[in-house]
Structure 1
Amino acid sequence: LWRDRVLRTLSLIVAVLAAVWGAWLALMPLYARQDMALGPREYGIVLSALGVGGLAGAVVVTRVNRLLGARWAMFADLVGTALMVALPALATDIRAVAAGAFLGGMGGTLWTVNARTLTQRVVPDEMLGRYSAAARLFSFGAMPLGAALVGLLAEWGGARFAFGVFALAVVVTPVPFFRNVTPSALRAFRAG
């Protein structure tokens, strides 16, 4: 995992994305009630948008991959996750926040399907379990860290500020992504 530049980059980006998801899931109930003044039904709409986005991603992932390629489909998740946390930082309108949740859910599926497919091609079968455990340590380990950090940031600067900080964290991920997850690296994965 650590020796391979692409696998390392994907795992570190997943850690950022997982921290963002942990932050969003931890802060959204409070934000929805206090800042957006949503009741349980409206909050359910926002959460449902996240799930519907994930289902939509599963339905369109093959078409998106054919149209854009795996690299751009994965980049779509970076955009979707950034919007998932940026829109609550910018607006309290349920339509905007639900749209961000939808795009985050959809992008998450696009990333997961493509990242798993790529890693299963390059990681030897006898190492796949160990690789998956190490990679999941990054993601599952980052979720509670994101939840804790968003609480501190929200306490210090407010919920919108906290969402904005996490949006900025996602905005920087395309730099290492495009630098290391290159078309030639992906071709090597497919050939391997």
Structure 2
Amino acid sequence: MTGFERIGGTPPITATTTAVGPRDAGNAARTAMATIGDRVLAWSAQSFKSDGAAGATWQGRTGLPSSFTPDRAELARGGDVYQLRALTGELAQGFGATPAQEGALGRAIEDFARGVALRFNALADAPTDTMLGGVLDALDQAVASGAGDGIGGVTARIESAATMVEKLNR
């Protein structure tokens, strides 16, 4: 995301998604991953016509209330259905990231989202604990990893969780 895009038309996601301390890498990573999981589950629930139990469990475990509604028009356009670019831009701006750091963060976020989407959609008919368990464990382990501060710590935590989810999907 360029500075012009950041100033442009995409509004902030919500105040709660990135309302953490300015350098609190653990909370920022947790909030970002919880947001991504919530968005993936919203799409999964809509696609598989589920009762939303997985989304409610996810929100209860992560503490992040859902405010996301899937946009079929965005899907038809082939756009950023999980709004990952906006999430990346918000985090990068909040931590004062360089363009290279923002790029690394964006790749980590995309890897995590891809792994979570694969897992959640493949297990859409499975019991909620089976569907979410490994991903929630990966999220918790990555956040607690002590990966450092600042944007590098956020990126490292998300990369770690993405790697764990990728292993779950094998």
- Smaller-chain TM-score range? 0.3 to 0.5
Larger RCO, structures 1/2 (Cα 8 Å, 6+ apart): 1
Q: TM-score, normalised by structure 2?
A: 0.37
What TM-score do the two structures reach when normalised by structure 1? Answer: 0.34
Q: Give 1 or 2 for the bigger CA radius of gyration.
A: 1
